């Protein structure tokens, strides 16, 4: 119970603490036995997520959770207000609290419907979408990152740790595969820190992609395997457009990805995945109850999808745990289309309101997408 309370406290305090105390020592509770990668356990063996202490120390045996001690992880660095973080930068996720490391950046166009734009450089609404406001896009930096597998069991209820998927390498196959512990993180969600450990992140790709170089800052540089992997898989990994809209303090962010085309029953089927993050920007506790999607295809079809929750869950969004992130997929028998919709949200008094999902385009590229090469599953 104490370890779980420690994690809950971290999620609400990590961002505020880091800005007030940029050079505090970062510590983590661990049992010494480690975590088994990609196999979340039903019970919490160790907290695995960071807490903050003013100096390096151990918890006394009579006060600490059974089998758990505080161990130093690293020291916070100043948050970058300008510029970007480099390959090898260690960080904490300011919302989900996990430890990670930057692989490389993406430069996306952010379409924020909460900002009133001028008429130029705007994105028009898809047919039938709610509202008629055009949205101006601005360049925004995201990062491809690895998640420390010790933290995956503790964030799996708030963010999918196997959200990056791709199609099998067969023209007639629609099978989807996932790369565990890979994520996309916005620049403002990065809380940088440094560590004296040569392997500070536990992930099976860490030592394949990065090598320790104390002469560099940060001291982890890309191996040729990372550069080759990025170049080979760039088409289906690439993040290009991000869409955001807030309704009654619930902010919805959508990132679509084109995955490729496959043939099925003498027709072409185009696949996309989309990542959605819901974030409660207010203080009222709410719960997602229903989803309502409209999916328009260039072939002229308009599909309506309704259902309970998302990915089998009905997440609660509170001040302590304000965010939920998930990924899903859609396929069309046309090379492009649009999606938009609403989430039905319930308040604690039983009343409901609808949160808008910002409309976004489903666009395919001319070049077919190849699945990852050089990765063993």
Report if residue 370 sits inside a domain: no
pLDDT of 33 over the 70 cut: no
Query: Using one digit for the tens of pLDDT, what is the confidence trace for 302-331?
Result: 999 999 999 999 999 999 999 999 999 999
Give the lowest-confidence range in 79-93, 174-188, 290-304.
174-188
Q: What is the mean pLDDT of the chain?
A: 80
% of the chain exceeding 90 in pLDDT: 58
Q: Under DSSP, is residue 209 helix (H, G, I), strand (E, B) or coil?
A: helix
Over range 211-232, report the average pLDDT.
94
194 pLDDT more than 60: yes
More confident residue, 368 or 357: 357
**Which range among 104-108, 271-275, 364-368 shows the weakest confidence by mean pLDDT?**
364-368
221 falls within a domain: yes
pLDDT of residue 163: 79
What's the pLDDT score for residue 20?
Answer: 46
Pairing state between β 69-76 and 190-194: antiparallel
Give residue 192's Cα distance to chain centre.
17
Residue 130 has pLDDT above 60, yes or no: no
- Decide if pLDDT at 65 tops 80: no
Q: Does pLDDT of 127 surpass 90?
A: no
Please tell me the predicted confidence (pLDDT) of residue 171. 56
Rounded CA-CA distance 369/377 in Å is 19
**Any domain includes 255:** yes
pLDDT bin (cut points 50, 70, 90) of residue 164 is confident
Tokens 């990372």 appear where?
226
pLDDT of 371 above 70:
no
Q: Give the best-scoring range by mean pLDDT among 6-10, 94-98, 171-175.
A: 94-98
Q: Is residue 35 part of a domain?
A: no
pLDDT of residue 133: 61
How many Å apart are CA 207 and CA 225, to the nearest integer? 10
Mean pLDDT for the stretch of residues 341-361: 97
Pick the closest to residue 89 from 238, 217, 206 (CA basis): 217
Residue 65 is classified by DSSP as: P
Question: Residue 34: pLDDT above 80?
Answer: no
Q: How confident is the model at residue 287 (pLDDT cuts 50, 70, 90)?
A: very high
Domain annotation covers residue 310:
yes
- Asked whether the predicted pLDDT for residue 103 surpasses 50, the reply is yes
Model pLDDT, residue 69: 62
**What DSSP element (H or E) covers 318?**
none
Residue 46 in any domain: the answer is no
Considering the domain boundaries, does residue 82 fall inside one? Answer: yes
25 within a domain of the structure (yes/no)? no
**Tell me, what CATH number does 207's domain have?**
2.60.40.1470
Confidence of residue 1 (pLDDT cuts 50, 70, 90): very low
CA distances from 112 to 7, 142, 144, 223, 359 (A): 31, 15, 21, 36, 11
Query: Number of folded domains in the chain?
Result: 1
The pTM (predicted TM-score) of the whole model is 0.78
Give percent of the chain with pLDDT exceeding 70.
72
User: Count H helices, E strands: the chain?
Assistant: 4, 22
Distance set, CA 166 to CA 31, 114, 135, 260 (Å) = 35, 32, 30, 8
Q: What is the DSSP string of 105-119?
A: EEEEEEEETTS---S
- Indicate left, alpha or beta for 225 from its phi (over 0: left) and psi (-120 to 50: alpha): alpha
Residue-number span of the structural domain to which 208 is assigned: 75-363
């Amino acid at each position: 119970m104490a370890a779980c309370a420690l994690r809950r406290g971290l999620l609400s305090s990590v961002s505020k603490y880091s800005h007030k105390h940029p050079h505090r020592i970062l510590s983590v509770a661990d049992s010494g036995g480690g975590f088994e990668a990609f196999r979340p356990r039903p019970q919490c063996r160790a907290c695995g997520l960071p807490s903050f202490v003013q100096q390096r120390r151990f918890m006394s045996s009579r006060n600490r959770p059974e089998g758990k001690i505080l161990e130093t992880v690293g020291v916070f660095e100043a948050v970058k207000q300008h510029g970007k973080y480099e390959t090898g930068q260690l960080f904490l996720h300011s919302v989900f609290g996990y430890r990670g490391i930057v692989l490389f950046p993406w430069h996306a166009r952010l379409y924020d419907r909460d900002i009133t734009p001028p008429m130029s450089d705007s994105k028009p609404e898809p047919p039938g979408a709610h509202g008629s406001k055009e949205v101006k896009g601005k360049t925004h930096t995201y990062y491809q990152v690895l998640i420390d597998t010790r933290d995956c069991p503790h964030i799996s209820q708030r963010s999918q740790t196997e959200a990056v998927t791709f199609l099998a390498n067969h023209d007639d196959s629609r099978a989807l595969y996932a790369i565990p512990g890979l994520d996309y993180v916005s620049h403002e969600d990065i809380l940088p820190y440094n560590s004296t450990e040569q392997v500070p992140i536990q992930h099976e790709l860490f030592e394949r992609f990065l090598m320790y170089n104390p002469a560099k800052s940060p001291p982890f540089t890309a191996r040729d395997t990372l550069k080759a992997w990025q170049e080979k898989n760039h088409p289906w990994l690439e993040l290009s457009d991000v869409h955001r809209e807030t309704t009654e303090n619930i902010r919805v962010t959508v990132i679509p990805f084109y995955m490729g085309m496959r043939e099925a029953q003498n027709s072409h089927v185009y696949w996309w995945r989309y990542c959605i993050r819901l974030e409660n920007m207010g203080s009222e506790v709410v719960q997602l109850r229903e989803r309502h999607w409209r999916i328009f295809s260039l072939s002229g079809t308009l599909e309506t999808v309704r259902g309970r929750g998302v990915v089998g869950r009905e997440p609660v969004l509170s001040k302590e745990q304000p965010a939920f992130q998930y990924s899903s997929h859609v396929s069309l028998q046309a090379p492009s289309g649009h999606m938009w919709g609403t989430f039905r949200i319930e308040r604690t008094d039983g009343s409901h309101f609808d949160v808008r999902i910002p409309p976004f385009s489903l666009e395919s590229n001319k070049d077919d997408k190849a699945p990852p090469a050089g990765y063993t599953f």
